[in-house]
A = this chain, B = another copy of it.
Amino acid sequence: MAKPNLLIIGAGGVGQVTVNKAAQFRNDFGTITLAARNAEKLERIAGEVQERWSRPGEKQLVATRTVDARSVEAVAGLIRELDAGLVLNVASPYCNAAILDACIATGVDYLDTALGEEEFVENIPPNWYERIEWPRREKFAARGASALLGMGFDPGVVNIFCAHARKHCFDSIASIDIIDVNAGSHGLYFATNFDADVNLREIKEDVITWENGRWETIPHHSASMDVALPEVGAHRVYSMGHDELQSLAVNFPDTPHIGFWMGFGEHYLKVFDVLDNLGLTSSIPIEVDGVKVAPNRVIKALLPDPASLAAGYTGKICIGADIRGMKDGKERRIFIWSNCDHEENFREVGGQSISYSTGIPVITAARLMASGVWKPKTMVNVEELDPDPFLKLMPEVGIDWEIQDLPLDGSWPWPAEV
């Protein structure tokens, strides 16, 4: 089987990590091309990759191309020009529809890390995958092309943790709680770790959880719990709507409770609440001095570029799944998780851990797709695939994972202070 040429679309923080890791594992791929709007960013990243990964005398590892990733024609043209066999979409979620259609048009494999979104809307009712992605499943199947949806960390690895739990740890699963804590500090007053308008919207939107076969909705930040996680210690986490709930609800139909929790500190909540109370987190354009502008885009324009946070970031993240169920007639509770360290990740590839923990799963999956191990020849959410080869390979690409039985009383065995 020929090694596929890789087309990586997106030159933000995740794109940078992804192309670094693609270059490190270049033996698994054909040519590697990084494409995005901004030629300057592309050149900078490609130059850094060359410096970091090339052996003396080795030719240019990564080619670059500017592209309008919201144009089906432009992306399909680039796929054909490069004879790409696998497209890694790490661009803005506003580009998903066009990139999917370009892959359908050319019959090549596809992978992304987040649900597609539309601009200037909010509080879309579930199921979100039914808007952009799943209606295109049959077209991928008809072309015999594979599309892996939501293959970052969360969604992505956490879905695979759930698949692992189902395969190896439980006879039946009663509840899944995905927990995401970033205990790092970027040292700035306020910043988002990825696209500000996408991030602020997902935090401000109504919270959905899957309860006994239906969606329940509550206001954002209205439900919280205190946890103590490996390497990051005690944190308060808040119930939040998140991509992976959408597919887990469908793929774990017998699980009564599926929720997602994210950690927020007091300062973050203070700033967010002010913005939210004043209407500044809104995606809906308003008129200002005769022009239309979405308030959350104004915030985005004022906040630091998420990729720029990496150099000063310290501390760790912990993302995992707290899963309860029955095994051999007994109740069981496990936590299955990974940690990343912002400083270590920056030293390795120049990115912070939020980008790193998204890019590592992308390249882990890309290697499995390139070698034919993961080749569903249709569109899947990643919990539908065999978790074993992924969880075996991910540590080699850059992130370890662990699993531990937890007390059934809901307590946490890790120290509050780290």
Q: Which residues of A contact B (CB under 8 A)?
A: 189-190, 270-271, 274-275, 277-280, 286-289, 291-295, 297-303
Contact B277 A288 (CB under 8 A): no
Q: Within 8 Å CB of A292, what residues of B?
A: 291
A189 to B295, CA, bound (A): 18
Cβ contact within 8 Å between B302 and A297: no
Contact check, A288 vs B278: say whether CB atoms are below 8 A apart.
no
A298-B293 in contact (CB<8A): yes
Do A278 and B301 have beta carbons less than 8 Å apart? Answer: no
A270-B270, A286-B301, A301-B286 as given contacts; A189 in contact with B278, CB under 8 Å: yes
**Which residues of the partner chain B approach A271 to less than 8 Å between Cβ atoms?**
274, 277-278
Kindly state the separation between the CA atoms of A76 and B275 in the bound complex, as whole angstroms: 43
Residues of chain B lying within 8 A (CB to CB) of residue A280 = 280, 298-299, 302
A299 to B287, CA, bound (A): 11
Q: How close is A179's CB to chain B, nearest CB, in angstroms?
A: 27
Q: Are A287 and B275 in touch, CB under 8 angstroms? A: no
With A289-B294, A291-B292, A298-B298 already in contact, 14 other A-B pairs whose C-beta atoms are closer than 8 Å? A189-B278, A190-B274, A190-B278, A270-B270, A271-B277, A274-B275, A278-B302, A279-B302, A288-B293, A288-B297, A291-B291, A291-B293, A293-B298, A295-B298
Copies in the complex: 2
Nearest chain-B residue to A286 (Cβ)? B301
User: Within the complex, which residue of B190, B270, B302 is in contact with A295, where a contact is CB–CB below 8 Å?
Assistant: B302
**With known contacts A280-B280, A291-B293, A293-B293, A302–B274 Cβ distance under 8 A:** no
The distance from the CB of A37 to the nearest CB of chain B, in whole angstroms, is 13
A298 and B189 CA atoms in complex are apart in Å by: 21
- Contact partners of A286 in chain B: CB under 8 A: 298, 301-302
B274–A301 touching, CB < 8 Å: no
- Known contacts: A270-B270, A280-B280, A293-B293. The answer to whether A288 contacts B275 by CB under 8 A is no
Distance in angstroms from A321 CB to nearest chain B CB is: 34
User: What residues of chain B lie closer than 8 Å to A293, measured between beta carbons?
Assistant: 288-289, 291, 293, 298
> How long is the Cα–Cα vector from A293 to B289 in the complex, in angstroms?
8
A289 contacts B278, C-beta separation under 8 Å: no
B190, B270, B278: which contacts A299 (Cβ < 8 A)? B278
* 3 closest Cβ pairs, A-B complex: A274-B274, A279-B302, A291-B291
Whether the Cβ atoms of A298 and B288 lie closer than 8 Å is: yes
Q: Which residues does chain B contribute within 8 Å of A274, judged by CB atoms?
A: 190, 270-271, 274-275
Q: How distant is A32 from chain B, measured CB to nearest CB, in Å?
A: 32
Chain B residue contacts of A279, Cβ below 8 A: 302
Least CB distance from A295 to B in Å reads 6
Q: Chain B residues near A190 (CB, 8 Å)? A: 274, 277-278
Q: Is the CB of B277 within 8 A of A301?
A: no
Neighbouring B residues of A189 by C-beta, 8 Å? 277-278
- Contact check, A288 vs B301: say whether CB atoms are below 8 A apart: yes
Task: Say whether B270 contacts A287, CB under 8 Å.
Answer: no
Task: Give A385 to B409 CA distance when docked, in angstroms.
Answer: 79
Distance of A375 from chain B, by nearest CB (Å): 40
Contacts of A299 in B (CB 8 A): 278, 280
- What B residues does A303 contact at CB under 8 A? 278
- Residue pairs across A and B with Cβ atoms less than 8 A apart, 12 shown, are A190-B274, A190-B278, A270-B274, A271-B277, A275-B278, A279-B302, A280-B280, A280-B298, A280-B299, A289-B293, A291-B293, A295-B298
The chain B residue sitting closest to A301, CB to CB, is B288
Chain B residues within 8 Å of A302, by CB: 278-280, 286, 295
CA distance A301 to B285 in the complex (A): 11
